[in-house]
Structure 1
């Protein structure tokens, strides 16, 4: 069942935000501010066996008003690396962790930043369409951090529901926009659901969004689940060691506590926490373990310098190998919290 009409109706009733809602001092949408469509190429295929999920952390410092030496070319290098290595790495899916841009709908910067983001990310759609999804971070909201009253007009202009409808991997959305949504894909003989939950560290609408995700996990109980939200786990307090657990953020704790009884969750991934922006924790509830990974390199030199993550699934070994490297420089990080294996159920 591709669309869950009952769940969608319940979610729409529970969520007060629509894509054009006005928050305090929001940008006025320009004329013809509708979802931009882009006809994707042929959907990429994956070979049987081991496969890779690519994760792009916060790209905000690459766009518009580059900070700490970041440039749009670093974002483009990430997309180009994915396209050029889709077959070699058997890439099945790409997830962006949010804070796509720095200033959201701020009228001074929005048009420039979001067009640069569009130009980069649409590269995943042609000539071959690689399944992907984008989280909404606090810097993609305007004003920042308010899922019920902030606007996300530009996000929904370029990455709204209508942009993805009809694509084989797109599942549906929560409420009247695409800020929270889910995708479906299969690889390595396994079926997956990827659920994106909008940034909400003040828990303005977290309960309703978590209930939506909980229900989806029940409907798609046969699929292994990946939860993506901009802020789930904070910084690992000990650099260079993946053995020390990071701490759940306020929203991350609410997500985990609501969803921990759903035994199909394999992993949760997030960005947002850029100072010492790597961390890992494993939480076991009634015999089921959920693995949570933080990756965010925006505080590194050059605003992250094209750093990104690979999660390489070894099907036979039931193992995820984490790899971290820069597509821009080609340099890999091999320390303990950048390159390590994790066993999954």
Structure 2
């Protein structure tokens, strides 16, 4: 940022948004204002080991660290150098990579204005600070801000280029190249099992620089791109709002005049660019724009030079989580966090972690969908039944050999295990003709690319389900050596707790009381086994009456969202039962000793549940492949496995 102030003498003038450190009378680097509650912070270290730089390139959770304008810490022409906040942040980056930290910081990007004056003396100290990263092989990028250089990227040699130019990255494994000027650089880092491209663009990019960037993206057509620059968007918050509690924190930034040029010449037509990061302006802010392909581009401004101690080497951490399809963002000062909390002065205590909605927030991004335009989603091919008939398979039902999608089920469903446990249709009187239909919808990891669409419910009772025959071998099975029961399920958006609660994907006819069950937690009228969806939060429940006890063993899962496929698996090793959701063990798995499943010799139901000996509920949603095995399977052998 280039505010009009006597301390801020820019190399090139910028937007005059507000005076230096307007809010709270905060002092910048080199003006260590002391108050009665504490002295200026001394050099402090976090106690981390500043050890090896070893991020995990395969983990689906990783962090991009971002450092905005540090200019007030490097003003060599005024003999005002304060490297320790920056160095402490670098130590934090090193100490929070790989297995040693949940952060898994894989890359750090500086957003420009490394110095206040662009002086060679300032860059000499900047270069020394960055040796902290160089000595550990840390992957990072830098770019020039308007306080580092003047003019556009055709300016020729400068102290910035001599110190932080491409030659600095000659040994970096992530450095991918630069344009002829040296002011625009490309970096490719590995995270979540793929390559990511980060472009670090100059304060003012020439036509040649834009042409280079566009060509570099074209030369790497399948890489997601993060664009860093010094100036793209600025906050629209009122200058006097602090701590930024008004307005819309998700749409509080807009393009600068130059930022609009960057959008027009680089961002809009390059669908690979999904996130842009810039400094220069304050306060922080963000907005989202649709590119020419109709996809969201997230544009963020982050800058803390107007805060205590020139931003105190603040880091913005972008925590990517490709499992949750979320980027969690937090902002902190490792230099302040490294200080003894009892000895921090008042201003330091306020700045250790920033928690306002513009500094601490989450962004939902469906990465697979967002990147599908340049990284086509590969669909796992269907697998033939004989590939998943593991030893001990007692029944395997799948629905890719039935009728056309949307047509009613009328014929039996064959048991592909060859054990003779075929399923026949039962329709509740008065139900619609399409109460049970074929569907081509399926879980992405399901062997059979089809399912059944059940349109059942309880109030009033309606729908259709499938059942084994009266003499099916499965009816008599008690599973004394253990079992694995798997089913793929999906609930529709109109799922209702009152009408659809306690619907069972799979159950066994027969009342617990008639099987001699009578002890604690026993309902004598409920079935001897059911894999159902509860009425409270759509939680999967496996309730089973084992052979060795007179009361049930009950496993509970977490709430499952509608309109999404889930793989449920129940595994018993002859002693204990575990419930898994998408291959992950759930929290509520009891340690009760449980052996086998009680039977009265009655049929099994797919999509139905009885109570008191009568049909009580019919499934509402989709059921995909179902497999029953007479032993415990490891997760790798589940139907979702390799």
TM over 0.5: yes
Taking the TM superposition and a 5 Å limit, the aligned residue runs for 1:45-64 are 45-46=55-56, 48-64=59-75
What is the alpha-carbon distance in structure 2 between the residues aligned to residue 321 and residue 60 of structure 1? 27
Aligned residues: 290
Alignment equivalent of 2:198, drawn from 188, 194, 198: 194
Alignment equivalent of 1:83, drawn from 76, 94, 112: 94
What is the alpha-carbon distance in structure 1 between the residues aligned to residue 70 and residue 256 of structure 2? 20
| Corresponding residue for residue 153 of structure 2 | 147
| Corresponding residue for residue 303 of structure 1 | 310
Contact 1:270 1:293 in 2 (8 A): yes
What is the alpha-carbon distance in structure 2 between the residues aligned to residue 134 and residue 77 of structure 1? 18
| Corresponding residue for residue 98 of structure 1 | 112
Q: Unaligned 5+ residue runs, structure 2?
A: 1-10, 13-50, 239-243, 338-351, 371-642
Alignment equivalent of 1:161, drawn from 161, 166, 169: 166
Q: Unaligned 5+ residue runs, structure 1?
A: 1-22, 25-40
SS state at 1:329 partner: helix
Instruction: Give the TM-score taking structure 2 as reference length.
Output: 0.43
Contact 1:309 1:322 in 2 (8 A): yes
Contact 2:224 2:273 in 1 (8 A): yes
Please give the root-mean-square deviation of Cα atoms over the aligned residues, in Å. 2.4
| Corresponding residue for residue 54 of structure 2 | 44
Alignment equivalent of 1:318, drawn from 317, 321, 325: 325
Contact 1:206 1:251 in 2 (8 A): no
Contact 2:152 2:202 in 1 (8 A): no
Q: CA deviation at 1:290?
A: 0.7
1:220 aligns with 2:220: yes
Contact 1:97 1:134 in 2 (8 A): yes
Contact 1:246 1:279 in 2 (8 A): yes
Computing the radius of gyration over CA atoms, which structure comes out larger, 1 or 2? Answer: 2
SS state at 1:140 partner: coil
Contact 2:200 2:229 in 1 (8 A): yes
Contact 2:235 2:301 in 1 (8 A): yes
Taking the TM superposition and a 5 Å limit, the aligned residue runs for 1:223-242 are 223-237=223-237, 239-240=244-245, 241-242=248-249
Taking the TM superposition and a 5 Å limit, the aligned residue runs for 1:1-345 are 44-46=54-56, 48-65=59-76, 71-87=82-98, 88=101, 89-104=103-118, 106=119, 110-111=120-121, 113-126=122-135, 128-141=136-149, 144-149=150-155, 152-177=157-182, 179-200=183-204, 205-237=205-237, 239-240=244-245, 241-258=248-265, 259-274=267-282, 276=283, 278-285=284-291, 286-330=293-337, 331-344=352-365, 345=370
Greater RCO, 1 or 2 (C-alpha within 8 Å, sep 6+)? 1
Q: Call closer, same or farther: CA 1:146–1:262 in 2, change over 3 Å.
A: closer
Contact 1:242 1:280 in 2 (8 A): yes
| Corresponding residue for residue 11 of structure 1 | none
What is the alpha-carbon distance in structure 2 between the residues aligned to residue 64 and residue 199 of structure 1? 19
